[in-house]
Amino acid sequence: MVQKNMLSPRPWFLSFLAIVAATAAFECVIPADAADQHPPASPETLVRTVVAQEAAAARNSPVKHMFLGRKQTARGSQTKLYVQTTEATAGLLIANDDKPISAQQLQDESAHLEHLATNRDELRRKQKQEREDAEHALRIVEALPEAFVYEFDGIEPGRDGVGKVGDELVRLKFRPRPHYTPPSHVEQVLLGMEGYLLIDQNACRLAKIEGTLFREVSFGWGILGHLDKGGSFIVEQADVGDGTWDVTRMQLNFTGKIMMVKTLAIKSEETLRDFRRVPDNLTFAKGIELLKTEQSRLQRGDSGSATATVSSARR
């Protein structure tokens, strides 16, 4: 999802970390030769099945949510209300460093959103960027079966924010597959990565992916830059309470170079929570209205003050 005033524009090779998955639940169909065994006989079979399910869900679901997000960086924290619309994701800042913003700041935030809603060229650019980020994310997910070798590493229960509470999550360790050749520069980041996946078999969804760079990785075949050894990321997904899944937590820790000159240093953690379904055909303009209504409700304390909401997001 695109968020202003949080980071400089993200390099394309990090867009996959913002996996967009506000999707409807699908029946998970594990092949018969794997489904009768616990754990399934082939980790690769399970990964391929789940990746196909993720791709189908990402491309086919119209489901949209409003939710609360808190992002922590070296510069401090920001808390925003977000709403997904048919045109783009709208975000309204409500707190800096866990303190509600001033009336003037809120007015400026609202003016920015109104400008986007009335400036169709800017809104189309925002929509285009979000689609490109989502497509890069999906290309990375679809590369997972070919890019890595997997092995079972145990079973753990689903928990709040990771999978579905009560479901069993299959843990799979992964390492680069020998002789894997990325089909484009987008997938190059996978060459130096190892880590593990958590798969919710009942929902047939990725509940978590955690990866670490065990060596320096070039992107753009070294022309655009590189990521340093030791960089890491975590992305968690969960059933958000209405049978649909969305990202609930993202943690990034990377250093490197862009264009071999500019230093790259990203360290952030974002937690997303309090998901509520909104109309599938919600427009950007109507989404802004919903955000303003929700912000006013929080400010009035109809179900807790804005400060309490910020505290909830910090947990």
Please report the pLDDT score of residue 64 as a whole number: 92
Arithmetic mean of pLDDT over the chain: 82
- Whether 7 shows a pLDDT value over 50: the answer reads no
Question: Mean pLDDT, to the nearest integer, of 166-194?
Answer: 90
Instruction: Give the tens place of pLDDT for each residue, 38-93.
Output: 555 589 999 999 999 888 888 877 889 999 999 999 999 999 999 999 999 999 99
Cα–Cα distance between 111 and 248 in angstroms, integer? 28
Summarised one tens digit per residue, pLDDT across range 260-292 is: 668 888 899 999 999 999 999 999 999 999 999
User: Quick one: pLDDT band at residue 12, thresholds 50, 70, 90?
Assistant: very low
**Mean pLDDT calculated for residue range 4-11:** 31
> Using CA atoms, how far apart are residues 259 and 314, in angstroms rounded to an integer?
35
- Res. 302 pLDDT band, cuts 50 70 90: low
More confident call, 14 vs 101: 101
- What would the pLDDT profile of 60-71 be if each residue is shown by its tens digit? 778 899 999 999
Specify the pTM: 0.80
- Whether the per-residue pLDDT at 34 is higher than 60: the answer is no
Are the C-beta atoms of 50 and 199 separated by less than 8 Å? yes
% of the chain beyond a pLDDT of 90: 58
Q: What is the DSSP string of the chain?
A: ---TTSSSPPPGGGGGGS----B--------HHHHTSSS-S-HHHHHHHHHHHHHHHHHH---EEEEEEEEEETTEEEEEEEEE-SS-EEEEEEEETTEEPPHHHHHHHHHHHHHHHH-HHHHHHHHHHHHHHHHHHHHHHHHHHHHEEEEEEEEEE-BTTBB-TTSEEEEEEEEEPTT---SSGGGGGGGGEEEEEEEETTTTEEEEEEEEESS-EEETTTTSEEE-TT-EEEEEEEE-SSS-EEEEEEEEEEEEEETTTEEEEEEEEEEEEEEEEE-TT--HHHHHHHHHHHHHHHHHTBTB-HHHHHHHHH-
170-192 mean pLDDT:
89
Of 72-81, 112-121, 211-220, 221-230, least confident by mean pLDDT is: 221-230
Range of weakest confidence among 131-135, 225-229, 297-301: 297-301
pLDDT of residue 42: 87
